[in-house]
C-alpha cells in the first residue's frame, strides 16, 4: 500500500488579497493557524479555491513557500501545481518539492482537453520529474475532461501517483476505480456533499471548501466515520447540506470568500474575471452561516 498524504479533512484554502489585490500573507498565516487549531488535517494551497488561475508565477510560488514555512510541519501541505501545460506543471511541481511541500495536487489539463492516453502521458511525465506523492484532480465540470476508472488503474501503477481528488459526482465510476486500483490509489472526495458516500466505499477523506468556514465539524465528519460512528457522521454531513449548497450558490470561490468576510476574515475580493457575490446570494450565505451559529462571533 502506498503512503497516504493525509487522512480526514484537508482544507482547499482561500488566498486572501489586500486592498491592492496582492496576496495578504499575514492574513493567510492567521487562517492557516486557525485551521490547524480547529483540527484540519491538511492545508491544500493554490488550488481552485485559492484562485490559482489568476495567480502569476511568482505569486503561485510565494504562496506555496509561505504555506510550507508557516505550517512548519504541523500538518501536511499539498501544493496545487496543475496546468494544461505539462512543462509548466513540472516546473511548479519541482519548485513545490524544493521548498518542502508534502504532496502535489494536479488538476486535469483544461481547455486543450487531452485524451485518456494524453492524461496517462501527462501525469506520468510529471510523476517522473518529482519524488513526492501526487494527487490527481478530476473535476470535469470545470475542465471538460473526465478521468476514467481504467485510466486511474494505469496511473496508479506509478509509485508517485498515490491519490485522486474525485469531483465528478459519479459514485458508480468511483466504485469501479476502487475495484481496479484497490489500495494503490487513495480517494478523496472533491465535493463536500459526498464525503460520507465516498468514505463508505473506502475513501480516506475530503479536500474541502466547507473547511474554510467550518473546519472543526468538517474534520469531525471524517473522524466520526473512522471511529465507526457512521450514523453521527452522516447526520453531521446532512446537517451541513444547507451551508454546502450556499457555498456553491455561485461559482467557487465567490461564496466562500463572502462567507469568510462575514466571519471577520480579511480575505479581500475575488480576482477578475470572477465578480463579487450578488446581494441575494450573500443573504443565502449569511442565513446558512447563522443556521450553524457561525455568526455568533460577529454579533
For the chain, give the percent of residues with pLDDT over 90. Answer: 97
Q: What is the pLDDT of residues 111-120, one digit of tens each?
A: 999 999 999 9
What pLDDT is recorded for position 130? 98
Residue identified by cell 443556521 is 291
Kindly state whether residue 282 falls inside one of the protein's structural domains.
no
Kindly state whether residue 143 falls inside one of the protein's structural domains.
yes
Q: What is the pLDDT of residues 3-30, one digit of tens each?
A: 899 999 999 999 999 999 999 999 999 9
Residues 6+ away with beta carbon under 8 Å from 72: none
Q: Which residues span the domain enclosing 21?
A: 8-239
Q: What is the pTM of this model?
A: 0.96
CATH of the domain at 161: 3.20.20.70
- With 50 as the cut, is the pLDDT of residue 297 above it? no
| Residue 186: φ, ψ to 5° | -75, 140
Kindly state whether residue 286 falls inside one of the protein's structural domains.
no
Kindly state whether residue 43 falls inside one of the protein's structural domains.
yes
Number of structural domains, the chain?
Answer: 1
Residue identified by cell 477523506 is 205
Kindly state whether residue 283 falls inside one of the protein's structural domains.
no
Q: For 133-229, where are the alpha helices, taking DSSP H only?
A: 140-143, 149-155, 171-181, 195-200, 215-226
Kindly state whether residue 44 falls inside one of the protein's structural domains.
yes
| Banded model confidence at residue 299, pLDDT cuts 50, 70, 90 | very low
Residue identified by cell 447526520 is 235
What pLDDT is recorded for position 2? 78
What pLDDT is recorded for position 1? 66
Q: What is the pLDDT of residues 175-212, one digit of tens each?
A: 999 999 999 999 999 999 999 999 999 999 999 999 99
Kindly state whether residue 3 falls inside one of the protein's structural domains.
no
Mean pLDDT of 70-83: 98
| Banded model confidence at residue 296, pLDDT cuts 50, 70, 90 | low
Kindly state whether residue 247 falls inside one of the protein's structural domains.
no
Rounded distance between C-alpha atoms, residue 123 and residue 107, angstroms: 10
Catalytic residues: 137, 165
Mean pLDDT of 95-104: 98
Amino acid at each position: 500500500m502506498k503512503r497516504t498524504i493525509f487522512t480526514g479533512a484537508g482544507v482547499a484554502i482561500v488566498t486572501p488579497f489586500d486592498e491592492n489585490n496582492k496576496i495578504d500573507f499575514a492574513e493567510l498565516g492567521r487562517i492557516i493557524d486557525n485551521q490547524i487549531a480547529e483540527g484540519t488535517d491538511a492545508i491544500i494551497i493554490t488550488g481552485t479555491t485559492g484562485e490559482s488561475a489568476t495567480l502569476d508565477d511568482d505569486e503561485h510560488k510565494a504562496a506555496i513557500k509561505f504555506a510550507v514555512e508557516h505550517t512548519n510541519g504541523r500538518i501536511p501541505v499539498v501544493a496545487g501545481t496543475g496546468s494544461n501545460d505539462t512543462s509548466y506543471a513540472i516546473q511548479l511541481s519541482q519548485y513545490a518539492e524544493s521548498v518542502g511541500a508534502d504532496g502535489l495536487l494536479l488538476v486535469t489539463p483544461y481547455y486543450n482537453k487531452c485524451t485518456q492516453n494524453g492524461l496517462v502521458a501527462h501525469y506520468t511525465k510529471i510523476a517522473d520529474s518529482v519524488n513526492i506523492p501526487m494527487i490527481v484532480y478530476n473535476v470535469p465540470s470545470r475542465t471538460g475532461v473526465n478521468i476514467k476508472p481504467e485510466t486511474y488503474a494505469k496511473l496508479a501503477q506509478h509509485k508517485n501517483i498515490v491519490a485522486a481528488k474525485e469531483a465528478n459526482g459519479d459514485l458508480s465510476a468511483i466504485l469501479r476505480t476502487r475495484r481496479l486500483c484497490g489500495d494503490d490509489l487513495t480517494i478523496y472526495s472533491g465535493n463536500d456533499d459526498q464525503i460520507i458516500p465516498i468514505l463508505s466505499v473506502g475513501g480516506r477523506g475530503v479536500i474541502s471548501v466547507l473547511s474554510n468556514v467550518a473546519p472543526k465539524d468538517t474534520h469531525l465528519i471524517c473522524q466520526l466515520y473512522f471511529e465507526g460512528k457512521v450514523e453521527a457522521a452522516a447526520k453531521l454531513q446532512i446537517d451541513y447540506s444547507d451551508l454546502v449548497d450556499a457555498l456553491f450558490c455561485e461559482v467557487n470561490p465567490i461564496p466562500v470568500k463572502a462567507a469568510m468576510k462575514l466571519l471577520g476574515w480579511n480575505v479581500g475580493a475575488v480576482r477578475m474575471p470572477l465578480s463579487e457575490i450578488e446581494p441575494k446570494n450573500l443573504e443565502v450565505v449569511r442565513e446558512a452561516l447563522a443556521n450553524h451559529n457561525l455568526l455568533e462571533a460577529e454579533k
